[in-house]
Structure 1
Amino acid sequence: MREEVKAALEQVRPFLQRDGGDVELVDVDETSGIVKVKLKGACGG
């Protein structure tokens, strides 16, 4: 599941970067399916 999440983030990353932001994968809980990300830059607020 972690690799699928990474692939999905790579698809949206260019759009976030275009607005001065980015996204970082923090954690993937395989059991519950919960994904935690950290928004950076202009997206941080």
Structure 2
Amino acid sequence: MEERKSKLEALRYHLAEGATQASKGDFVDNFSMDSLINALDAES
């Protein structure tokens, strides 16, 4: 349960970071959800 909560917190952080970047017009080329999920899995 704690691991899932930690992953959700990390996802929320990354989503907020992305929203801030997007509002500035900063976009990442070659973005994929699979890459994000793999990176989050690697953090835990």
TM-score between both structures, scaled by the size of structure 1: 0.40
Structure having the higher helix fraction is 2
Larger of the two Rg values belongs to structure: 2
TM-score between both structures, scaled by the size of structure 2: 0.40
